[in-house]
Amino acid sequence: MPVENSHPSFEFIRSENIESLNVNVEEYKHKVTGAMHYHIAADQDENVFLVAFRTVPMDSKGVAHILEHTALCGSEHYPVRDPFFMMTRRSLNTFMNALTSSDWTAYPFASQNRKDYFNLLDIYLDATFFSRLDPLDFAQEGHRVEFEEADNAQSDLVYKGVVLNEMKGAMSSPISTLWQTTTKYLFPSVTYHYNSGGDPESITDLTYDELLAFYRSHYHPSNAVFMTFGNIPAAELQSRIEEQALSSFEHLDINITVTDEKRIFAPVRVEEAYALDEEDVSGKTHHVMAWLLGHSIDLMAQLKAHLLSLVLLDNSASPLRYALESCDLGSAPSPLCGLEDSNRQMSFMCGLEGSEPDKAAAFEKLVMETLQRVAEEGVPQSMIEAQLHQLELGQREISGGSYPYGLSLIMSSISSAIHRGDPIALLNLDPVLDELRELIKDPDFIPSMVRELLINNDHLVRLSLRPDNKMTERKEQDEKDKLAARKAGLSEEQTQFIIDQAAALEARQMQEDDESILPKVTLDDVPVDMHVPSSEKQMLDGQPLDWYGQGTNGLVYQEVVIDMPELTEEELQIMPLFSYCMTELGCGERSYQENQQYHVQVSGGVNAFTTMRGAIDDEQNVSGYFVISGKALLRNQDVLSELLNETLHEARFDETKRLREIVSQQRSRKEQSITGQGHSLAIMAAAARLSPSARVDQQSRGLESIRFVKQLDKQLDDPAALQALSDKLSAIHQKLKNAPRKFLLVAEPEQRDALVASMAAHWHAPSQQAAVSSLKLLPTRETVKQLWTTSTQVSFCAKAYPTVPVDHADAAPLTILGDFLRNGYLHRAIREKGGAYGSGAGQDSGDAVFRFFSYRDPRLTETLDDFDKSIAWLLENEHEASKLEEAILGVVSSIDKPSSPAGEAKGAYHSALFGRTAEQRRAFRQRILSVSIDDLKRVASCYLKPEMASIAAVTSVEKAKALADQFEVIAL
């Protein structure tokens, strides 16, 4: 790209076209401050912005994390209390957030609307470079002490703070504790030794002055990296960045960086404990081995390490994963297995969960013997080539998940930019992949890496993390003792300060800011239409096929969609297990190991799942489908068709030893997932008896499924029970093979004829189609009042009400009502005042349910009361039309949020399966735009009645005990 096309304040360094991604990446440097700007120019309307700062705390007080929160609470040009959350509802953004990593803090957003994009750009630049950092915001977002009874200095002191409660929730997860403890020993002297999010026991030591000092030293353009994506030219972006921010700064002589960790020359073997509030703690120990490797910015070294990790751990055919899965030392491989490449120095980890403390030495012996065997015997060449194929496929795929595509590219390269490497090289893997193809021809390629990086590498930590069912009690007592000692030492002046701060903070939280100073989009900026890709319909030997021509960058996506047959309650409950086993067990003549390896060689993955929803006019009328889905590079289309066909017809469920391992692994995964998705689990529990599909969700994916899998895991020690489970899975398989089916095919438009012909060669209609009864679910419309107990320091609350399905006229105002209540009441009451990490409300028109929820919440009954108070607030007050517009904008931006080309096609197809056609979706969107405040009050008074509420929460044993007379208490 010519120099003259960049802004005069920036020096153009280079550009590189990356053909496999269809983008041009440009690198610039701000002439005065030295800030770097990487722009990914793409023919995409969804533009992305990110500014990141190198943040390297040297303690676990959470300064970088609390600063990330506090910086968004008001700035020089936007001196309102909460510009970030206010902008989330004055915007058509497709993504807004802020992220704290181990050595950087980033502020990203995305939007498809140019006006909105530049509005958000101004907000983000001012928030990061000109933040006010009010002490009251530090008290709200970080930590503070208050008297339990606000005006009563005789009552006990308590800690409050959003980040404090967020991290109490995060560190309730054993896996988070496992990760932090492992890195504490693996990195004894650099920033990764500490918890960048903040250790709850250390957060309360952070002072406001320390926060200010960290901001001044770290949030400067000389320590910043800008990364952008989309069709807005770099020069136009740089003009705004210069004008709004960088022109106010001089160069700062600062070089914040992570130094290399000092090498240790003998393995460290250590045992620590984590809190687990269960009587029986047997089989709950984690073992991990972790090695420190080389620099992540060395692209060849990074890709070689990735390849080694995939070869050793990717699937059950991989030697190290197989050893971990099939041994009797634990229940499952650890979630920490694999390569960590985001830190300055990479690390490789492997581990076991569901073990005992005395198995540590045997675990280490198993790992080292497996590695030694690989070093001596090598691995099949086909295994290495298959994993290189996965790297190529990952390079080409246009993803679309939790991040917009452009942000996914940015996040994949941010670590290299932060560590002053070459993020452009990290995006353009093709040259390095070509080099790797030559290197892997050497039979000693993998063995030599195993010897060098692992066997002969003494910078090794072996950690055993055992459960302690008294630790929570000790921690809580320690906190009470600290607070009691602090209270006892308070002077009159200090006591008054605590009372005055609480009053000042409450007044600040209740103040009405002048929102007019913030930029906004309006309903006039909303596109008239929504984009829904359309399909071409044809038949494959009498079986329906939907073809979507989309820009998939050389990949093809196929799905076999089978009408869900009639299943028993037990069969419905084990459907997730069946779906998982269908691709994890053997197929035809291939064993499960051979099958998994074959998948890796020829595809980007094959998976199976069920999808189930109520009709658009009756939530009690549920239909469902079983889907086998796969993707592959275009050259493997024919093999993919054959593989999906084999998976449907020849999947085997007779490998009972492997089946036993899978159930044990699923139990571990489900138990570990509770605190990470506690709000979703609470919502499912609250809605479980309000519709048939919600009941199935609770049984197959919710809290009931966790109890079920724990019971099943215990039963399978009996060989007869294991064989019975195998027979049940085979019976489900037989029903699915006989059920009617249809097909979905997505690829680039010009490939249609060849791809359809390839599918037609493999998919013939059954010669004798057996009569199969369709899925039938019994109707249900009942409420619950439950507390589910687990090991957690915070709660997750939910309240659900029966409402209407999507085709009902009231579905649109109920959908808007969720955003309106969150924006106007819930955010302030539950997050800001209550200290929960998050809260919200929303309509689920598939189940015809309106749900309230809170996330990582220090309160329980008070939050349930706040749900009710939000309804009263709506009904008893007059509301501005502008607040309604903000709620509508939020819903419309969610509806219009783009996905990947393949993701949009799949979404359109699966929506249409359940009656959510393009026409129906457009009509619903139009109804959304027409909702009035009177509509909101009407539907709230009609549907959100106290006697109709269904309540569930995930909480601690202690909190549940105190409420046992009001709720059904269920132990997980």
Q: What is the pLDDT of residues 80-106, one digit of tens each?
A: 988 998 998 899 999 999 999 999 999
Nearest to 944 by CA among 842, 823, 861: 842
Handedness of CA 898, 902, 905, 911 (dihedral sign): negative
pLDDT computed for residue 676 by the predictor: 87
- Other Cβ atoms within 10 Å of 734 Cβ, number: 12
User: Is pLDDT above 60 for 741?
Assistant: yes
Q: Rounded to 10 degrees, what is the CA torsion of 720, 722, 727, 729? A: 160
User: Is pLDDT above 90 for 783?
Assistant: yes
pLDDT (tens digit, 9 = 90+) per residue, 158-208? 999 999 999 999 998 999 999 999 999 999 999 999 999 999 999 999 999
The letter for the amino acid at 891 is V
pLDDT (tens digit, 9 = 90+) per residue, 547-590? 999 999 899 999 999 999 999 999 999 999 999 999 999 999 99
Bridge partners (DSSP) listed for residue 18 = 23
**pLDDT range class, residue 629, cuts 50, 70, 90:** very high
pLDDT (tens digit, 9 = 90+) per residue, 123-162? 999 999 999 999 999 999 999 999 998 778 899 999 999 9
- Supply the Cα-derived Rg of the chain in whole angstroms: 28
**pLDDT range class, residue 3, cuts 50, 70, 90:** very low
Nearest to 929 by CA among 899, 895, 880: 895
3-state secondary structure 856-890: CECCCHHHHHHHHHHHHHHHHCCCCHHHHHHHHHH
pLDDT (tens digit, 9 = 90+) per residue, 354-365? 999 999 999 999
The gap between the terminal CA atoms of the chain, to the nearest Å, is 59
Q: Rounded to whole angstroms, how far apart are CA atoms 703 and 680?
A: 10
Residue 223 backbone class (left: φ over 0; alpha: ψ -120 to 50; beta: rest): alpha
Bridge partners (DSSP) listed for residue 607 = 629
pLDDT computed for residue 773 by the predictor: 76
- pTM of the shown model: 0.93
CATH topology of domain 785-971: Cytochrome Bc1 Complex; Chain A, domain 1 (3.30.830)
**pLDDT range class, residue 2, cuts 50, 70, 90:** very low
H or E segment and range at residue 286: strand 285-295
Distance of CA 356 to the CA centre of its chain: 30
pLDDT (tens digit, 9 = 90+) per residue, 203-239? 999 999 999 999 999 999 999 999 999 999 999 999 9
Nearest to 905 by CA among 453, 467, 536: 536
Q: Rounded to whole angstroms, how far apart are CA atoms 221 and 30?
A: 9
Q: Rounded to whole angstroms, how far apart are CA atoms 183 and 202?
A: 17
Q: Are 293 and 487 in contact (CB under 8 A)?
A: no
Q: Are 661 and 580 in contact (CB under 8 A)?
A: no
- Tokens 């041009």 — which residue? 24
Planar angle of CA 658, 660, 664, nearest 5 degrees? 115
Sequence spans of domains, the chain: 32-177+184-255+488-517, 268-399+421-468, 785-971
Mean pLDDT of all residues in 686-709: 96
Planar angle of CA 674, 322, 380, nearest 5 degrees? 135
Mean pLDDT of all residues in 691-700: 96
Per-chain mean pLDDT for the chain: 94
pLDDT computed for residue 1 by the predictor: 40
**pLDDT range class, residue 675, cuts 50, 70, 90:** confident
Planar angle of CA 655, 656, 657, nearest 5 degrees? 95
Q: Where is pLDDT greater, at 439 or 403?
A: 439
Q: Rounded to whole angstroms, how far apart are CA atoms 256 and 235?
A: 28
pLDDT (tens digit, 9 = 90+) per residue, 495-540? 999 999 999 999 999 988 888 899 999 999 999 899 999 999 999 9
Handedness of CA 289, 293, 299, 303 (dihedral sign): negative
Between the alpha carbon of residue 700 and those of residues 250, 575, 618, 677, 892, the distances in Å are 58, 7, 22, 15, 31
User: Is pLDDT above 50 for 657?
Assistant: yes
pLDDT computed for residue 4 by the predictor: 52
Between the alpha carbon of residue 67 and those of residues 72, 80, 106, 215, the distances in Å are 9, 17, 11, 7
User: Is pLDDT above 70 for 409?
Assistant: yes
Q: Rounded to whole angstroms, how far apart are CA atoms 949 and 7?
A: 58
Mean pLDDT of all residues in 692-696: 96
Mean pLDDT of all residues in 774-783: 93
User: Which residue spans within 750-825 are E strands per DSSP?
Assistant: 785-789, 796-802
Between the alpha carbon of residue 437 and those of residues 148, 300, 417, 431, 784, the distances in Å are 65, 12, 26, 10, 58
Planar angle of CA 130, 133, 135, nearest 5 degrees? 160
Mean pLDDT of all residues in 106-121: 97
pLDDT computed for residue 226 by the predictor: 98
Q: Are 393 and 604 in contact (CB under 8 A)?
A: yes
pLDDT computed for residue 398 by the predictor: 81
pLDDT computed for residue 345 by the predictor: 96
pLDDT computed for residue 419 by the predictor: 95
* Domains 32-177+184-255+488-517 and 785-971 alike in fold: yes
DSSP structure class, residue 758: H
Domain covering 268-399+421-468: architecture: 2-Layer Sandwich (3.30)
Q: What residues have CB less than 8 Å from 595, skipping those under 6 apart? A: 583, 585, 586, 587
- Tokens 């959908």 — which residue? 815
User: Is pLDDT above 70 for 771?
Assistant: no
Instruction: Out of 227-241, 421-435, 707-721, 802-816, pick the least confident.
Output: 421-435
| 32-177+184-255+488-517 to CATH, choices 3.60.20.10, 3.30.830.10, 1.10.3720.10, 3.30.420.10 | 3.30.830.10
pLDDT (tens digit, 9 = 90+) per residue, 313-349? 999 999 999 999 999 999 999 999 999 999 999 999 9
User: Is pLDDT above 50 for 824?
Assistant: yes
Q: Are 670 and 706 in contact (CB under 8 A)?
A: yes
Q: Rounded to whole angstroms, how far apart are CA atoms 701 and 742?
A: 26
Q: Rounded to whole angstroms, how far apart are CA atoms 346 and 349?
A: 10
Nearest to 367 by CA among 311, 317, 308, 327: 327
Mean pLDDT of all residues in 445-469: 97
pLDDT computed for residue 401 by the predictor: 66
Q: Rounded to whole angstroms, how far apart are CA atoms 73 and 131?
A: 8
